[in-house]
Amino acid sequence: MIIECRDLIKTYQADGRRMNAVDEASFVVQQGEFIFIHGHSGSGKTTLLSLIGGLTSPDTGQVLIDGRDNWQQSDNALSDLRNRTIGFIFQFASLIPALTVLENVLLPMSFGGVAAGARERATQLLVEVGLKEKMHSYPGQLSGGQQRRVAIARAFINKPAIILADEPTGDLDEETEQEIFELFKTFNREQRTTFLIVTHNQHLATTIPGSRVFTMRQGLLKEIQAG
Ligand SMILES: Nc1ncnc2c1ncn2[C@@H]1O[C@H](COP(=O)(O)OP(=O)(O)OP(=O)(O)O)[C@@H](O)[C@H]1O
Ligand SMILES: [Mg+2]
C-alpha cells in the first residue's frame, strides 16, 4: 500500500472550543488508485490532504507513505518526500509571481538540482496543459484557470508517485476539466500514479472506472463507493 492513515485526528481551536477538523480517519490506498473526496465546505478535506502530504502534523494517529511514518523521519527525509514522492495541486493558485511559467514548473526540481532534460519535460507538460504559448509569461499575466494549469504541470514535474489535488479543476470550464482528467488518466496508466482528488464535481468519479469515493462530514471520513 502506498498510503496508510491510522486513526488520524487533527483539532483546531475555534472560538475557545476545540473542534476536530479530521476525526479518526483510517484508510489504506494502493498504488495506482483514484480516490475522490467530496464534502461540504469546512468538512476537513484540505486538512486531510495536508496531513497525508506531511504539511500538517496530526494531533494523534499516523500517516505512512510507502510504509514510512511521515513524522518518524528526519526533516530532510520529510522534505524529500514532499518534493519527490508527492505532487501537490493546491486549492488556491500557488505560483511564484517573480518566476516565469516555465520556471514555476521547474521549481520542484531545483531543490534536488535540475536534471538533464528537465526543461524539455517542463515544456512538454506545458504543451499538455495547453499553455505552450505562455511559457515565458509571468503568473500575473495569466487568467485564474491558466495559473491553475501551470500548477497542475508543476505537480507532475518530478514524476511523483502520489498526486494530492485540492479542487484541481474548480476554476476550469468543462472541456478543459475533461482534458486535465484525460492527462491524469494517462499518468495513471503510464506511471501508476496514485490520485487523491478533492472535488465538488460528483460526476468525475463516474468517468474513471474503479475509482473510490469518500465523503467527509464534520471531520468524519466515510467510503461510499469501493473501487
Ligand atoms: N489553520 C487553521 N486554524 C484553525 N482552524 C482551521 C485551520 N485550518 C482549518 N481550520 C478549520 O478546520 C475545519 C476544516 O477545514 P478545511 O480547510 O479542512 O475544510 P475543507 O473541507 O477543505 O473546506 P473547503 O471546501 O471550504 O475548502 C474548518 O472548520 C476550518 O475552519
Ligand atoms: Mg479546502
Residue with cell 531543490: 111
Is pLDDT above 80 for 164? yes
- Residue 2 in grid coordinates: 502506498
Q: Rg of the chain over CA atoms, in angstroms?
A: 17
Q: Report strand pairing: 162-166 vs 86-89.
A: parallel
Q: Is the pLDDT of residue 112 over 70?
A: no
Cα 192 to averaged position of ligand 2 atoms, centre (Å) = 26
Confidence of residue 196 (pLDDT cuts 50, 70, 90): very high
Using DSSP, state whether 89 is helix, strand or coil. strand
The DSSP code sequence of 11-76 is EEEETTEEEEEEEEEEEEE-TT-EEEEEE-TTSSHHHHHHHHTTSS--SEEEEEETTEEGGGS-HH
Q: Which three cell numbers stand for residue 194?
A: 496514485
pLDDT at 102 over 90: yes
Asked whether residue 110 carries a pLDDT value surpassing 90, the answer given is no
Residue 152's Cα: distance from chain center in Å? 9
Q: How many CA atoms lie within 13 A of 32 on its CB side?
A: 7
Q: Which residues are CB-contacts of 75 (< 8 A; sequence separation ≥ 6)?
A: none
Q: State the pLDDT at residue 83.
A: 87
What cell was used for 164?
Answer: 494530492
Q: What percent of the chain has pLDDT over 70?
A: 98
Q: What is the DSSP letter of 120?
A: H
Amino acid at 126: L
Chain segment 39-61, per-residue pLDDT in tens: 999 999 999 999 999 999 999 99
pLDDT of 33 reads 98
Q: Are the beta carbons of 32 and 191 closer than 8 angstroms?
A: no
Q: Please determine, for residue 116, whether its predicted confidence score (pLDDT) is greater than 80.
A: no
Task: Give the residue-averaged pLDDT of 123-147.
Answer: 95
Ligand 1 atom nearest to 10, measured from its CA: 12
3-state secondary structure of 116: coil
Closest ligand, as measured to the CA of 48: 1
Residue 21 C-alpha from the chain's centroid: 19
Q: What pTM was computed for the model?
A: 0.95
pLDDT bucket at 113, cuts 50 / 70 / 90: low
Give the model confidence (pLDDT) of 57-99 as tens digits: 999 999 999 999 999 999 999 998 998 899 999 988 789 999 9
Residue 108 amino acid letter: P
pLDDT of 114 above 70: no
- How many angstroms is it from 48 CA to the middle of ligand 1? 10
Nearest atom of ligand 1 to the alpha carbon of 200? 25
pLDDT level of residue 111 (50, 70, 90 thresholds): low
Q: What percent of the chain has pLDDT over 90?
A: 88
Mean pLDDT, to the nearest integer, of 191-204?
A: 96
Q: What residues contact 204, with CB distance under 8 A and at least 6 apart?
A: 36, 177, 181, 197
The CATH fold of domain 3-225: Rossmann fold (3.40.50)
Provide the pLDDT confidence category of residue 201 given band limits of 50, 70 and 90: very high
Q: What is the pLDDT of residue 206?
A: 93
Q: Which ligand ends up closest to the CA of 90? A: 2
Q: Give residue limits of the domains in the chain.
A: 3-225
